[in-house]
Structure 1
Amino acid sequence: MAITPSSPNEQERLAALQSYQILDTEAEKDYDDLTTLASAICQVPIALISFVDDERQWFKSHHGLAASETPVEQSFCAHAIASTHDIMIVEDAHKDDRFKDNPLVTGEPNITFYAGIPLVNEDGYSLGTLCVIDPKPKILSTQQLNALRIVAKQVMDKLELRRKLQTLEGANHSLKSSQQQITQLNTHLKFNDARTRSLIQQAPVAIIVFRGEDLFIEAVNPPMLTLLGKQGDILNKPLLEAIPELNGQEPYKLLYSVLKTGNPVYGYDTAVKLKRNGVEETGYYNFSYSPLIEDGEITGVIDMAVDVTEQVRVRKKIERTEESLRMAVDAADSGTYSMNTRTFEFYASPRLKELFGFNRDEDMSYEACMACIREDYRLTVQTLTEASLYQGERFELEYPVIGYHDGEERWLRGLGTVQPDSHGTDVFFTGIITDITERKEDDQRKSDFIGMVSHELKTPLTSMSGYVQMLLRIAGKDGHSAMIPILEKASKQVSKMTTMINGFLNVSRLESGKIHVDRQRFDIKDLIKEAEEESISTIATHRVIFKPVETSYVDADRDKIGQVISNFLSNAVKYSAPDTTIHVACITLDGYVQVSVTDSGMGINSRDIEKLFDRYYRVEGSEMVSISGFGIGLYLCAEIIKRHNGNIWVESEKDKGSTFYFNLPLA
C-alpha cells in the first residue's frame, strides 16, 4: 500500500512536511555526509534521506543512487512511515509479497535488502525516512541498527534546526525592519505621544522602552509581554521592581552602558533567566539596545528582542548528537576525512592521523597520506581515488599503510564518495577509514597454520598413496580379486584427501603472494577440448554435453584456468543427481570469452549466492551433510579469475540447478 490522502491524518502530515520547505531544495553537504556515514556503518552501497508527499518520494540526499525521486506507488519508504515500528527491515524483497513485483526490485537499483527509520517530527508526524539499501540480502547487527538510529536522529535534528532558522530569519528580518523605525521613534517619542505608542504596539517584534536612571518602563508591546512572561501591570514601574530576577545579569548591566555612552549594543543567543508562572527558567534571545535621544540628550533605552530559545536548544541537541556520532566512529576505531576536489584542501580527523602514523595535532596533507600507503597498493588507491573524484564512483578498498612516525604497518578499510556542498560551489571527497589490522593478522595466522599443517600432512599422504598403489599391484598379481575394489576405494579417498590438502596449500600460497600467474597466449578452444576428453574418462555418472566452441585467444595461465573449469565440472557432478545432464559452453561476448557449466542439481538459496566465493564458505542444509569439502575450491577459482582481470558469478534457482560462469578478456 502507498500513503494516500485518505490515510488517517495524511493531510496534517503533508502540511507538516510542507512547513519544513525542504522539498526540491538543492543538495546540502550536511545531509550528504550523513548518508555517507549510514552507508559506511551498514556496509551497503546505497543510503537515502527520503521525504514522501502525495505523489512521490523525493530524496534530499541519495548516496549511491542517481535518481532524485520515484513514484510513491513504488516507495518502500511509504510503507516505513506507515509502520508502527521505529525501523522497517526487509531482508529479501524478492520473498516479500509487498515488494517482489516492485519495479525497483525487478529492475534498477535491484533492491533486495532495505532498512528504513521514519523521520518523525516533534508533533509525531512521519515526514520520510533515513534508509539503507543493498542489492543483496543482508542482516544488520544490533550495533549497526543503533548507530543507524543515531544518524536518523541527527537528520531530524538538522531538519528541525533548518525550520527554526527559517523562522528566526523571518523574525530577524522583522527586527531589522523595526530597527529602521528607531530614528523615527527617537525623533517623536514622548510619554503621552499616542502615535508613537501605536507604532510600538503594532510592531511585529518585542519592544520595551525604558526611561531615566531607574529604567522606568514607559512602553511595552504584547510580543514583549509574552517574551517576558509578564502582564501589562509592569508599565510605569522601575525595571528591577517589575522584573527583579534580571538584577546582576549581563543584559541588565548593558542597559546602563547604553545610557552612559549612547552606543547601541547587540546580543545574540544570550542566556537570560526569567520567572514565568512562578518558575525560573533560562531562555536565549537576540536583542538590540538603542539609545533614546531627545533634544540631544540620552533619556532612555529602546530594547527590541527575539526569542531564539528553541533554535539554541535544537542546536545544542545536534551538537550532542554529533558528539555521539563522533564517539560511535571512535568506538569503531575509525577516522574520517574530507577533501575539496577543487582546491585539494584536505581535512583528517585526529584518529585518522593516528592510523597513518601522524600525531593527532599535526597537519597531514593528502600527499602525505598517499605517501604512507604501501608501495604495492599505492597505484590502486590512487586509481580508485581518481575514479571517485572524476567519475563519481564509490571508493571501497582494503590496503596497508606504513606509519609516518612509527613505521608500523597497519591494514585499513576505506570508504568514500564525492558530494557537492550545500551551496553547490564546491565538491568534497569524504569518507571513513577503519583499522582492520587485527582481522588481517588473524587471517594470516590462520592461513599460516593451515599451510603448515597441510604441508606436514602431504608427506605421509603421499606415502600412503604409494602403499595403496603397491597393494593394488600385489593383489592383481596374486589373484586377491576381493581386495581390489576395497583398495581402489581407498585410493580414491586418498586422492580426495590429496586434492583438499593441495587446495589448502594453494590458499596459503595465494594469500602470502607466492602463487604467480604464468601468462601465455593460447586458444581456449583447445583447453575446453582437453576438459571434454578428460570428462569422458573420469565422469561416468552423468551425461556431459560440450557445446561447439569457436577459436578464442586469451593471455592467461593455462593450467590455472584449466583448474577453474575442472572445479566447475566436479562441483556440477557433486551437487546433481546421477544420470542428469551437465552442459558446458564457451562463447565470446563484448570483448570477453565466457565459460559456463550448467547442472540440474539442488540449486542454491539466494542468501548463499553472495557468499559462495568466500573462503571456507559452505552451503548449509540437510542435503549437504553427505557432501565433502571445506569451501576453498570456489574461493580459489574466484582469486584466479580476479588475477586475470575477469569476473566469476553464478545463477541458480533452488531445486532447479545452477549455472557457474567466468569470463576473461580476449587477447
Structure 2
Amino acid sequence: MSDVQPLNKKQLIEVLSQTKTATAIHIGEEALIQMANQAMLTIWGKDQSVIGKTLEDALPELKGQPFAQMFKKVWLEGITISGAETAADLEIDGEIKTFYFDFEYRAIKDEFNQTICILHTATDVTDRVSNRKLMEEFFNKEIALEREQALNEELAASNEELNAVNEELAQSQEELLTLNETLERRVEARVKELSASETRYRIISDELAAINEEMTASNEELALAHEHLKETFDELEDKEIALRLAIEAANFGTWHMHSESRELVTSARLRELFGFDAAHEITIEQALGQITEQYRAYVAEKIENALHGNGDYDVSYAVIGFNDKKIRWLRAVGNLKADKSGEFSSFTGVVMDISLIKKDEQRKNDFIAMVSHELKTPLTSLNGYIQVLQRKAIVFQDNFVNSSLEMAAKQVKKMTGMINGFLNVSRLESGKIVLNLSYFSLTDLIGTVVEESRLMETSHTIDFQSCEHTPVYADYDKISNVIVNLLSNAVKYAPIAKNIEVTCTIINQRVQVSVKDHGIGISAKDIGKLFDRYYRVESDNQVSGFGIGLYLSAEIIARHNGTIWVESEFGDGATFYFNLPLHNGNVKS
C-alpha cells in the first residue's frame, strides 16, 4: 500500500485552477462563489473580485435567466443538472452579448449524503454553433449548383436548335443547285428563311452571353463557399482539442511526479486509461510500458525535457490497456513547479482520452475527400460543355463569345486545381500518396515547366538559368507540381513586377532550385508558418486560394529527402528554394 496522502482541499483547488476547463465551486442556495479558475472568469468577463459573492451579485445580468434557480435546485436536491448549447446573456466589456455553453452543475456530497458544494463546469461553444450555421449555409450553396446544371441543360437544348438550323441551311443549298427551274421562287423563300435564322441566331447568342455571365457568378459563389469551408475546417482543427477537453472534463486522469525520486502518484482514472485496475498503484516505468513502441521513446524524451528544460509538457500518444488490451489515444498536458523548499520540483498534469478526436480527424479527412470528389463531377461536365461551345463559337467568329468561354475555361481549370489540392491533402494525411519514382533530369523538367508557364502566364517574363547534369530519382509529376506551384505563386504575388527568375545550381551533391519574384514579399512573422496546412498570409493584397499549395509542396519535397524554404523581406519580393539529392546513376528517359 502507498503512504501517499490524498489531495487536501487547497491542493484540489490548485489542480482545478490549473485546468483549461472553465471550473467554479459554489455553496448555498444563492450559489455563493468559493472558487473560479481563470477560464471561468474569462467566460464571465470578471476578475477575482467576484469570489465570495453570490452568482447574481457577481453577474447581475443573469437575473431573469434560469441559472440561479438551477443552482438552487441542485443544492436542495443534491442532483446534477447539465445542458448543451444553452444560450446565456452575459455582460462583456459593458455590452450584453448572447453566448452558448455546454455546462454542468454537479452536487458534491459528504459521507452523510449532504450537499457540501456545487461543482460548476462550462464550455463556450458559441463558435461551434456559429460553425454549424456556416455549414448549413455551405449546403445551401448546393442549390446554386442545381441551378447551374439546369442552365447547362438549357444550353444543350440551344445547341441542338442551332444544329437544326445548320442542317436546314445545308439542305437549302442542295435544293438551290438541283432545282434551277424554281430558282427565283426558292431564292426568295430561302432569303426569308435565312433572315429568320439570323434573328434566331442573334437571340441564341444573347442568351448564351447571359448564361456565361450566370456561370461566372456561379463560379464566384462556389469559390466563396470553398473559402467559407476552408475557414470552418481551420477553426474546427484549432478548437477540436479544447472542445474535447471540456466535454470529457469529469474523466481527466491526474498525476504528480517527484523530479528527483521519480515517484509517481496517479488518480484512479489515469490508471484506468492505461488499462490498470483503478486501485492498482503504478510506476512511471509501468505507465511507459503500456505506450506503444512507436511513441514510447518519444514520450520518455518529452518527460525528460520537461523535467530538465522549460517544464512544459503537451504530448499525444497511443497506449495498449494492461488488462483489457484496448488501444486508446491519450493526450497529456502538464508543467513543472518548484517546491517551496527549492530541493525538488513537482511535475503535475492531466491525461485525457482523445480516441474520439482521432476518429473525428479520420472522418474529417474522409469528408474532404468525398466533397472534393463530388465537386469534380459537375466541373468535368461543365468543362466539356465549354469545350463544345468553343468549337461552335470558332465557326461563327464571335470574339465576345470566344473571350467569355476562354475566361470560363480558365476558372474551371482553377477550381479543378483547388479541388485536386484538397484531394491530395486528404490522401497525404491518410498515407495514400504513393511516389512513382523514376530517373530523369531535373533541368529538363524545369525547362519544360517554364515553357508551359510562359504560354499560360503571358503577363510575366520568366528567365531560367539552367545547370548541366542534374540526374534525380524522384516522382516526375509531383516534382513538376511543386515547380508549377512556385511559379504560379510568383505570378500571383507579383502583379506589378513582371520579372521572375528561375535558377538551378549544384551544392554538396544536391541540386538546388530557386524561384525569385519582385512582388509584395513576406513578413517575418509569416515565414515560419508559410508551409503549414491552410495557412494564408493576411494582407491588403489578398490573393485567392486555400493555403494548401505550399503545404503539399513541402510534404512532397520532404518525402524525397529534400528541403524547402523561403527568403524574403516584406515589400521586396521573395525567393523560394528547394533541393533534392543528386543520383549518381545514369538518367533514363
Q: What TM-score do the two structures reach when normalised by structure 2?
A: 0.48
Larger helix share, 1 or 2:
2
Q: What TM-score do the two structures reach when normalised by structure 1?
A: 0.43
